[in-house]
Homo-oligomer: A and B are copies of this chain.
Amino acid sequence: MQRVMLVKIGGQITDDPRKLQRVLGDFSRLPGPKLLVHGGGRVADSFLQKQGIVPRMAGGRRITDGPTLEVIQMVYAGLLNKNIVAGLQALDCPAFGLSGVDGNAILAQKRPVADVDFGLVGDVQRVDAELIKNFLELNLIPVFCALTHDGEGQILNTNADTIASEIAAALTPYYEVELFYLFDKRGVLRDPMQEDSTISEITSESYRQLKEKNIIKEGMKPKMDTAFSALKKGVGSVHLMRYDALGYPRQGTRVVL
């Protein structure tokens, strides 16, 4: 089976033009079919503030009401997605921007209200892998922003790590998929203060132990959970690495089942 690389970049990268440019350069040089998924970061917060909307979070995740979704939609699908695509095009990378709404690429369900009402937040139900495969076969490089829809006209905000994980999983019947999460750290660190304490490999078993010892906690837990979710659905490997390490496969943390 042909290999495909899916790269997810977080807010620390999209917020910093220098880091973003570094990633786009490295990404454009990756051989073979590939995809990019990007989050939003603080750019959205700054626009929310200018619109007089106070960002609200619960458990590290954004609560999305109607006016917040409007701004998120504008920042993710309009500002960031098109800037990234234009940047890749300038590097002769045939990038093509989309959201989960376009072509019904990612159908989601509004998250049921439990302890917290996250508002207009979607849990992924189905990724249209055939559609993405069609694009890859046309030699287009899909660049996804973190929006989905419910198929009935409602756009939904969806966590970008989850979107990356779900797209990667959906592509496994057609491709050997490698998933890369790029962020600010060298990988999963044994000691958050020590960049050289990167854990080179994490398995299901060591993940359990690292959680017990409280080495993996807070925001890293949901990210690792999306990594293991992808692996359980057939993704070959997941890599967590610093934004400047893309294309250097021995760097960072490799996650396997």
Residues in A lying within 8 Å of B, measured CB to CB: 47, 50-51, 70, 73-79, 81-83, 85-87, 89-90, 94-99, 101-104, 131, 134, 138, 140, 147, 149, 151-155
Contact = CB atoms under 8 A, between A and B. Distances in A.
Contact of A94 (B83, B96, B103): B103
Contacts of A79: 70, 73-74, 78
28 contacts: A50-B50, A70-B79, A73-B78, A74-B78, A74-B79, A75-B78, A77-B77, A77-B78, A77-B81, A77-B82, A82-B99, A82-B101, A82-B102, A82-B147, A83-B155, A86-B149, A86-B153, A86-B155, A87-B153, A89-B149, A90-B152, A94-B103, A95-B103, A96-B98, A97-B98, A98-B102, A131-B138, A134-B138
B138 A89 contact: no
A17 to B, nearest CB: 11
Interface residues of chain A: helix, strand, loop or mixed (majority): helix
Contacts of A138: 131, 134
A104 B89 contact: yes
A103 B96 contact: yes
A78 B145 CA distance: 10
A86 B101 contact: yes
A73 B95 CA distance: 17
A44 B86 CA distance: 21
Q: Which 10 A-B pairs have the closest CB atoms?
A: A78-B78, A74-B74, A74-B78, A90-B153, A77-B78, A96-B103, A96-B102, A74-B79, A86-B101, A97-B102
Contacts of A102: 82, 85, 95-98
Nearest to A70: B79
A101 B47 CA distance: 23
Contact of A51 (B50, B85, B101, B131): B50
A211 B154 CA distance: 45
Contacts of A131: 138
